[in-house]
Amino acid sequence: MSWPWLVSLQYQGQHYCGGALIGRQWVLTAAHCNFSTVTDNLVIGRSYLWNTGNRDLIPVKAVYTHPSFTQFPPNDDLCLLHLENPVELGKFVSPICLPGKDDKINLLSKCMTAGWGITEPHQDEFPKTVQQAKVPLISSTSCRSYWGLDIKNTNICGGAAGSSSCMGDSGGPLQCAQDGQYKLIGIVSWGSSNCHPAAPTVFTRISAYRDWITSVTGGEA
């Protein structure tokens, strides 16, 4: 598993959003994914989703949506999922490191996204094999000029270089190489509705929410 922290949010066995394992019992995703503890489960540590069974489904006991979350416009688009039980860590399941709250964003960082979102705008099914793409980071100024919308300092933008996050990628990680390891720099929030490869994706910037994450998880992430 190239990305042992990568999580699939599933409803009735079908993928619909991504997430990132940030502790043995915690997953970070987008609030707008609207995860339900009643109907939904997680799959962690799998590159392929076509042969998952009930034993692969991980239940969640509590959902913590950021208290300031709004969907229109999308702000503070983060949600913490508290797993029923701690996951067993190993080669295929391992949490990603978080940035410090004062970490600065280097626009030249090597960054990647990964997930099971659609790759074509009219695609009927999500791919069963995890997809990944390099994501060059771009300035908030460039992002604002493209979208004509206010991009806040709690966001970071990337992409517009031949590949784009699309439906099913929401909640998935933007992971950037820093100090010899990958860190979770962002969570996919929104972007092009038709997977346009020239459209920047807008991510929720994790460093801006470290205090909230620490508070909710009790320092476990």
170 as an active site residue: the answer is yes
Question: Which listed residue (15, 66, 76, 77) is catalytic?
Answer: 77
The phi and psi torsions of 151 (rounded to 5 degrees) equal -100, 115
77 as an active site residue: the answer is yes
Closest by Cα among 62, 42, 105 to 220: 62
User: What residues have CB less than 8 Å from 199, skipping those under 6 apart?
Assistant: 146, 159, 160, 164, 191, 192
* Cα–Cα distance for residue pair 53/194, rounded to 1 Å: 31
Question: Which listed residue (8, 165, 170, 207) is catalytic?
Answer: 170
32 as an active site residue: the answer is yes
Closest by Cα among 194, 216, 197, 203 to 152: 203
Question: Which listed residue (8, 15, 32, 207) is catalytic?
Answer: 32
Residue 75 structure tokens: 């702000």
- Catalytic positions, please? 32, 77, 170
